[in-house]
Amino acid sequence: MKNNYLKGKDGQALISILLLVALALVFITTTAVIFSAETDLSFNTRKSNEIYYNGEAVIENAILRLERNPSYSGETLTFDDGNSTINIVAGPGPTQKTINIKSISSSQKFIRSFKVIVDMGTDGKTVNLVSWRENE
């Protein structure tokens, strides 16, 4: 006697397995896409922070150079992954100077710029920080 229960159910196991494999592929693909996006975000954040800290170091360098040489007008400094340009112009006040810094990664993807105002004092050699901000 044949078992009538299994009659017409020959492909159900195969369909179930195919559905499970499809669900697993969707899960794996989604996980890979999310992981890739997180990796890119982490890399971009790290590079942007590197350029920011390069800019801060350049500001400190510019202030130090102004203390040593009040006629210092700027320069371009090169780093491992980019460069920073220093431009010093007369400031808003009679004894003030404005230090403009632009730090750029070598890929030109990350740019951070700063504006620092210093007061040269009445003797022309004492450098006092008035403001320090990152430009938007």
Coil/strand/helix, residue 112? strand
Residue 77, C-beta contacts closer than 8 angstroms, at least 6 positions apart: 58, 61, 83, 84, 86
pLDDT averaged per 10 residues, the chain (length 136): 59 85 93 87 86 89 89 88 89 85 83 90 80 83
Q: How far apart are CA 29 and CA 35, in angstroms?
A: 10
Pairing status of strand 76-79 against strand 82-90: antiparallel
Residue 66, C-beta contacts closer than 8 angstroms, at least 6 positions apart: 72, 88, 97, 99, 118, 120, 127
pLDDT computed for residue 30 by the predictor: 92
pLDDT computed for residue 4 by the predictor: 60
**CATH code for the part of the protein at 9-135:** 3.30.1300
Q: Where are the domains of the chain?
A: 9-135
